[in-house]
């Protein structure tokens, strides 16, 4: 009788242990498993890092021309100075060169210029009569940059640029009338950047404040304000 009672007690004890947690050894380290110790999901938001360029658009399509290389700065400077012409300030009005961002795309951050996206194939239009000065084929990630001079209006003689996710660029040396196409939004790339440039072959942001990634320089704020004055609704960035 005593032996039977002992066996019943042992069975009850083992049953109780099975309902609780079980200890195991993993490489000499004890671990405990059970309902109360199961890992719980902890969702984490991945925040963008200041200074990063926009996410590449277009899936696995290549970004720009992998064989393209930016020409030496001295060459760019020489081309710009040879191409620029004397333009007088006039009362002509500008048009929004990026209407397809306003209606169907997205305005991005302010950096050297203003970043933006638009439908593939959408045009970047000449804001007034312009002269296309030069193209840098590999300005960023194998993507080009095009410089052009404003020939009319209150900013006549100033140089603007459009860069990165562009294709079908107008030929350097060509004159475009207001509304004609400077370039089109390419199927893949890192969005576009639209801003002020200089005849030294560098952006106005770098020439004036030494732009570094993540900064919001006065030149970037200036071009955004210039676009907003034309009804672009580009926000404050």
Question: How far is the C-alpha of 147 from the C-alpha of 172, rounded, in Å?
Answer: 9
User: Which residues of the chain fall short of a pLDDT of 70?
Assistant: 1-71, 73, 76-77, 79, 81-82, 212
pLDDT of residue 196: 97
8-61, pLDDT tens digit by residue?
Answer: 444 444 444 444 344 444 444 444 444 333 344 343 333 333 334 444 444 444
* pTM exceeds 0.85: no
Q: What is the 3-state secondary structure (H, E, C) of the chain?
A: CHHHHHHHHHHHHHHHHHHCCEEEEECCEEEEECHHHCCCCCCCCCCCCCCCCCCCECCCCCCCCCCCCCCCHHHHHHHHHHHCCCCCCCCCCCCCCCHHHHHHCEEEEECCCEEEECCCCCEEECCCCEEEEEEEEEEECCEEEEEEEECCCCCCCCEEEEEECEECCCCCCCEECCCCEEEEECCCECCEEEEEECCCCCEHHHHHHCCCCCCCCHHHHHHHHHHHHCCCCCCCC
State the pLDDT at residue 29: 41
The confidence score (pLDDT) of residue 164 equals 97
Q: Which fold has domain 73-229?
A: Glucose Permease (Domain IIA) (2.70.70)
Query: Residue 74: its pLDDT value, please?
Result: 73
């Amino acid at each position: 009788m005593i032996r039977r009672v002992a066996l019943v007690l042992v069975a009850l004890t083992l049953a109780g242990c099975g309902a609780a947690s079980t200890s195991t050894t993993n490489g000499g380290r004890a671990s405990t498993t059970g309902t109360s110790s199961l890992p719980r999901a902890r969702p984490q938001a991945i925040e963008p890092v200041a200074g990063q360029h926009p996410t590449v658009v277009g899936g696995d399509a290549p970004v720009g021309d992998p064989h393209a290389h930016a020409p030496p700065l001295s060459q760019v400077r020489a081309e710009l100075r040879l191409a620029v012409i004397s333009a007088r300030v006039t009362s002509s009005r500008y048009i929004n060169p990026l209407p397809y961002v306003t209606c169907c795309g997205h305005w991005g951050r302010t950096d050297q210029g203003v970043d933006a996206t638009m439908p593939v194939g959408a045009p970047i239009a000449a804001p007034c009569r312009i002269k296309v000065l030069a193209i840098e084929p590999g300005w960023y990630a194998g993507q080009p940059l095009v410089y052009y001079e404003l020939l009319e209006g209150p900013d006549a003689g100033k140089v603007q640029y459009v860069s990165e996710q562009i294709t079908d660029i107008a030929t350097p040396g060509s004159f475009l009338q207001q509304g004609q196409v400077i370039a089109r939004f390419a199927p893949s790339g890192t969005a576009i950047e639209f801003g002020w440039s200089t005849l030294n072959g560098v952006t106005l942001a770098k020439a004036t404040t030494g732009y570094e990634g993540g900064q919001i320089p006065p030149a970037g704020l200036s071009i955004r304000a210039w676009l907003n004055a034309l009804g672009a609704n580009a926000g404050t960035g």
